[in-house]
Structure 1
Amino acid sequence: MVEVIAIVGPTASGKTALSIELAKQFNGEIINGDSMQVYRGMDIGTAKIRSDEMDGIAHHLLDILDPDESFSVADYQRLVREKIKEIQQRGKLPIIVGGTGLYVQSVLFDYRFPKQQVDEQLRQALQEELERFGPEAMHRKLTALDPTIDIHPNNTRRVLRALEILMSGEEKEDGSLAQSPMYDELIIGLDVPRDILYERIDKRVDKMMDSGLLEEVKGLYDSGLRDVQSIKAIGYKELYGYFDGVYSLEDAIVQLKRNSRKYAKRQFTYFRNKMPILWLGSGAGHKNNLEEIKRIWQETDRNRRIEQMAKTIR
């Protein structure tokens, strides 16, 4: 029996709408699969679902971090696997929805972080040291290891995370990906003809601007947020360039659309090469897609289901 469903695909392909219908059909709860939607105050630029669009369906891993906090594949993997267990214990179906391919893949397949066990011991030791000596001492310890790091002493979470990375020798993408599945999963991909997708992306950017994206980014800019992971996201870095005077607002919007189209192309490439996916046409309508998903769902054996998926016309 299917334990986890994932809905993947490029930006503006219609994942959110399908996920709501699927959650209703299969008694599901939705887990965010977008690396930038974890940040509070970054709603418009990440196309985060609004509460009035959720239609009563529980959503998880949205707005869990401040924009100045870092977030890694290992963090995501740990949180989502915990959340999957919680949802299953409630008798619900976990549905991961998003376009960050590596994040989704790291949860569903055997993506290993060799230093995790050592890091857990180090994390506990650093926490005890913080409680004993205080944040100033931990910040001095950090700057002694790397004088170039610019983290405020009072941001103890980031100070401890930076110490953990430096002291363990961990790298951001430290992990190896095996193809053995962690769950009996069904991965659904939404396929959109390139010209239609690009038109959707351009219209989405225009809608974002009309909805207040410029004001959202200005708030982050005025808060002094600089050189952090979150503002490197598409939709934010381009408008930061506008506020920095690098280019005009018109040019910033052109850059935003161009970068979004390039990102969508990279997403397609990643998903097509990395995971066994049931590809559905977003133009076919949710009703037809749901019928196809039900048909595949009835294949209780994973290998048979993958064979069926491979036969699906893409």
Structure 2
Amino acid sequence: MKKILVIVGPTAVGKTDISIDVAKALDTEIISCDSVQIYKRLDIGSAKPTIDEMQGVKHHLIDFVEPDQNYSVSEYRQDAQAVISKLHAQGKIPVITGGTGLYVNALLYEMHFGENASDETYRQSLESKAELEGNNAVHDLLKQVDLQASEKIHPNNIRRVIRALEINKVTGKNVGDFTLDPVRTKAYEVVLIGLTRERSKLYDRINRRVDLMLEAGLIEEVEKLKKSGLDDSFQSMQGIGYKEVLAYLNGLYDLDAMISLLKQNSRRYAKRQMTWFKRYEEIQWIDLETFSSKEAVVKTILSTI
């Protein structure tokens, strides 16, 4: 069976740098798995790799959606699978890398989007809420409309939680006996690698990244987006880094408070990402702090294929 290599991990752990070296070693291409890097003009806050950083490795599914447009998980799945098929036809192993858990799920599971009861806009809003506020925030919504379902579905099973809410909204009925359990994909073999670091060191990297983003012009980037008519009602502007700076520009925080909040939200997001990825039983964890060089990390990843 043809393979895909999926490299995940929390924000700022070092996925981009390592995945590029892995892709070079495999003579293949990278498919981004990041729900903010998809947007054009959202460069600094999304930590989108520059042309120089890509080192000649072709990247797919970054910088291709206008920031005033919505883009759903189902669209991501369709677009990513098209690239996967193309690379497999060329005899290459696609390298998928990023930190958006719902995008990872879309490639690992046969998720039946658009069946019968479907409300794409509502589902997108729930996906964004889960991404930004955590699974419990969405699970609390389910408690309000379908208590029985909320007692059966764990908050971390966010796909089922969102599907139950969608069914309730569209049909006005509780999820009842609907079958919502996901089925693992048989389209390809998945090699799943998780990158991690000791928490205090990861948090230091996150704080440093925020400082570097601000030095690189994050506030100016958001100012331009705001002047183009974008506000926090747009999906693109709900990403961490963009919503905090936008609130600062709107006078809700002073500069120091905004920076502190941005770092705090980034750290909390990293914690939620780790919780999400730990659910995958087959994930092979690599603690980057235990390696003496990046080359050793790359060699270890290549040995798993």
Return the TM-score normalized by structure 2.
Answer: 0.76
| Counterpart pick for 2:270 among 264, 267, 271 | 264
Task: Tell me how far apart the structure 1 counterparts of residues 23 and 182 of structure 2 sit (CA, whole Å).
Answer: 29
Which structure 2 residues correspond to residues 165-314 of structure 1 after superposition, within 5 A?
A: 169=170, 177-226=182-231, 227-283=233-289, 284=291, 285-297=293-305
Shift of 1:35: 0.6
Task: Tell me how far apart the structure 2 counterparts of residues 294 and 245 of structure 1 sit (CA, whole Å).
Answer: 49
Shift of 1:15: 0.4
Counterpart of 1:130? none
Equivalent residue letter for 1:234:
I
Counterpart of 1:156? none
Greater shift after overlay, 287-296 or 213-222?
Answer: 287-296
CA RMSD of aligned residues (A): 2.4
| Secondary structure of 1:65 counterpart | coil
Q: Does the CA contact (< 8 Å) of 1:12 and 1:197 recur in 2?
A: yes
Counterpart of 1:52? 52
Task: Tell me how far apart the structure 2 counterparts of residues 52 and 73 of structure 1 sit (CA, whole Å).
Answer: 29
Q: 1:114 to 1:228 in 2, by over 3 A?
A: closer
Q: 1:222 to 1:263 in 2, by over 3 A?
A: same
Counterpart of 1:14? 14
- Aligned-pair identity in percent equals 42
Provide structure 1 residue ranges, at least 5 long, that are not aligned to the other structure: 120-164, 298-314
Task: Tell me how far apart the structure 1 counterparts of residues 102 and 219 of structure 2 sit (CA, whole Å).
Answer: 29
Equivalent residue letter for 2:287:
G
Task: Tell me how far apart the structure 2 counterparts of residues 176 and 61 of structure 1 sit (CA, whole Å).
Answer: 28
Q: 1:243 to 1:40 in 2, by over 3 A?
A: same
Q: Does the CA contact (< 8 Å) of 1:109 and 1:182 recur in 2?
A: no
Greater shift after overlay, 28-37 or 106-115?
Answer: 106-115
Task: Tell me how far apart the structure 1 counterparts of residues 170 and 78 of structure 2 sit (CA, whole Å).
Answer: 19
| Secondary structure of 2:30 counterpart | strand
Q: Does the CA contact (< 8 Å) of 2:45 and 2:213 recur in 1?
A: yes
Equivalent residue letter for 1:246:
L
Which structure 2 residues correspond to residues 71-150 of structure 1 after superposition, within 5 A?
A: 71-115=71-115
Deviations 1:192-238 (A, max 9, x none): 11000000000000000000101000001111212111101000000
Deviations 1:154-200 (A, max 9, x none): xxxxxxxxxxx9xx959xxxx75223553111111101110000000
Counterpart of 1:67? 67
Q: Does the CA contact (< 8 Å) of 2:107 and 2:185 recur in 1?
A: no
| Secondary structure of 2:304 counterpart | helix
| Secondary structure of 1:28 counterpart | coil
Task: Tell me how far apart the structure 2 counterparts of residues 59 and 192 of structure 1 sit (CA, whole Å).
Answer: 25
Q: Is the radius of gyration larger for structure 1 or structure 2?
A: 1
